[in-house]
Each structure stands twice: as structure tokens, then as C-alpha cells.
Chains A and B, each alone.
Chain A
Amino acid sequence: MSETTQWITFALIGLGTFAIRLSFIELHTVLRIPPLFRRALAYVPASVLAALVLPAVVFPDRHAGFDWMNPQIPAAALAALVAWRTRSTLLTLVVGMGVLWALKHWGL
């Protein structure tokens, strides 16, 4: 990606995000969210985040196939458990990275 394309991409995302944030604050007298759309929005974070996490964990190298011995799988599973019990970003990161480093260092 060239420097120009990259900055145009960044600018478009920035402008689009600002437009989304401003939307109802600016136009709340004229705009209304359709009820189905409002309900669908509630499932955006869970769906998108899971769709990002799972492939990134299961395929550390995008061109390799599925591998049960991939140390990222147990690391992510433990990190998920920690996230569920503690809801702490910091602990989730520390446990996930720690398990990954331990498994890579001592082998499986």
C-alpha cells in the first residue's frame, strides 16, 4: 500500500467514524433508528470481535492449515477464562502472552 493510499484510507475511516459518532447528536430531530437495525446493532461487537479472534488464534500463519499443536489455542483458551472471571484487559493480556511464551519456551 503506498503512502498516499494509506493516508486516504486512514482519513476515510476517521471521517466515517466521526460521522457515525455525530449522526444522532447532530440530526436527532430528523433521524430515527429503525427498530430491527437497533436490535441488530446490539450483536455487532460480539459477532465482529469473535470473527476477528478465532481465525487469528487458529491460524497463526494465514497460509498454513489447522494444527492442534498450535500453542496459541491453549493460550487463548486460558486467557478467555481469565477474561470471563476477572473482566480485566491487563490480566487477560498477561496470562495469554505468558502461557504462549511458556509453551514456546519449554515446548509442548
Chain B
Amino acid sequence: MPYPSGTQAFRQGAHSALPLTSGIVPFGLITGVTAIGMGLSPADAIGMTLLFYSGSAQMVVMQLMQNAALPVTMVVTALVINLRFLMYSASLAPHLGQLPRRQKWPMAYMLSDQSFALCTLKMGSGGLGQHAYPYYAGTAITMFLGWNLSVLAGMYLGAGIPEDWSLGFAIPLSFLALLIPGIRNAATLGAALTGGVLAVLAADLPYNLGLLTGALGGITAGLAIESWQKKQPMPEANSEQEAS
């Protein structure tokens, strides 16, 4: 049902994003704890958090910094991880594209997995109408505040956590928590298995190229399984194309 006013749409957006912050708060805490734990200054950690606004890219870059990887590897890896935002950007473009720049650019900067998911759900049910922008803004600002405040809280806690707690292990664990729910079918499972195994086998390659090898191998495996499944006789196999 369309919202009667923009304010109400904004409030509803913020309200529906609120429970999702419980998923990013632990991740934000760990990001803050790890940043301080690995010896970044508070200014470095805050700057990184605001510049990236991307927890997975930030964790990856921190891990690469600990491995003394080349800066080029860090930039390429972080941007490859964030390529998924291309998809989000494309699906939100019809709703945000007409806004003036002073609204469009901050909204693009605050684009997150959660805002995208909430808005596409709403758009799919046709419930947003002309109030897509305030609804999106409500979700985006809630996630932005939730993320940055939890990283700050983590930084504050991180200063008091001793080395022998092996908190470094929280990085792969937090990636695991993002990875597992994303495995929804044989193709994504194949992509994950291929990517993981290739990265282990190629772990000795210089400049963290093992990561890139695993990623490319995983994507190829996912595509191969997907096209193999499409060749099987399945009448609805093509129905989701161009759905957006």
C-alpha cells in the first residue's frame, strides 16, 4: 500500500531497517576491535570506516595489511568485493536516478546490502509508489548510523582486549557468517567450494594472487554449473531473466 506522505515512508524505512542492524552490529564491533588490535590509530580506523563504508572490504584490507600485501592488491581486492554494488545500483537506478545530485550522491554513498534488499522487496510488491526515495533514505541512514556507531564502540572495546584471545580468527568467522546464508543453490555452492579450495591450493602465490585465482575460479564454476543446469529440461529456467 503506498505511503500517504514522504515523512511516513522515511519512518517506515528506518523502522524496517532497525532489526537488520542486529546483523551488522557484531560485524561492526569486530571491525573496530580488529582495527585497534592490529595497531591502526583511531584516526586511521575512523578514516577507513568512513571512506569505505563497506565492512567486508575493510576487513579484507586489514587482513591484507597484516600479510604485508601490495597496496595494488588491496585496492583491486576491495573493489572486486564491492562489485556487487553494481547490481544494486542498477536495480535502484530507476527510483533514485531522477533526484538532484545533492540527494543522489549521498544516497549512492550510503548504498548497502540491507537497504538494497529492503527496497527491492518493497518495490517488488509495488508498495513504494512515489515515495521510494524517502523510504530508501530511511533504510540507508539507519544502516549508516548503526554501522559507524558499532565500529566506534568496537574501537573503544578493542583497546582493552589482550593479544592471546586470538581475535584475528574473528575475521574469517565474520566472512563465514556472510558466506553461508548466501549459498542458495548448487551454482553458488559450487562457486564457494571451487573458490575456497583453489585459494588454499594457490596460497603460496605471491602478492595474495591466490585470492584472485580462487575468486575467478569460483565465479567461472558458478557460471558453468548455472549453464549446465539450464541445459537440463526445465521450463521456467529463463523466466527470471530481465525481471528487473
Binding site for B on A (CB under 8 A): 1, 5-14, 16-18, 20-26, 28-29, 33, 35-36, 38-60, 62, 72, 75-76, 79-80, 83-84, 87-90, 92-93, 96-97, 100-101, 104
Contact = CB atoms under 8 A, between A and B. Distances in A.
Chain B interface size, as a band, is 35 or more
Question: DSSP class of B's interface residues: helix, strand, loop or mixed?
Answer: helix
A29 B97 CA distance: 9
A53 B218 contact: no
B62 to A, nearest CB: 11
Nearest to A95: B173
Interface of B: 22-27, 30, 44, 47-48, 50-54, 56-57, 60-61, 63, 65, 67-68, 71, 74-75, 77-90, 92-94, 96-97, 104-105, 107-109, 111, 165-167, 169-183, 187-189, 191-200, 203, 210-211, 213-219, 221-223, 226, 241
27 contacts: A9-B74, A10-B52, A13-B52, A20-B82, A22-B108, A23-B90, A40-B223, A42-B87, A44-B84, A44-B219, A47-B191, A47-B194, A47-B218, A48-B81, A48-B215, A49-B195, A50-B196, A50-B199, A50-B218, A51-B198, A51-B213, A52-B175, A56-B171, A58-B200, A84-B181, A100-B169, A101-B165
Given A13-B57, A48-B218, A84-B180, A93 B79 contact: no
A7 B50 CA distance: 12
Contacts of A44: 80-81, 83-84, 215, 219
B219 A96 contact: no
B93 A28 contact: yes
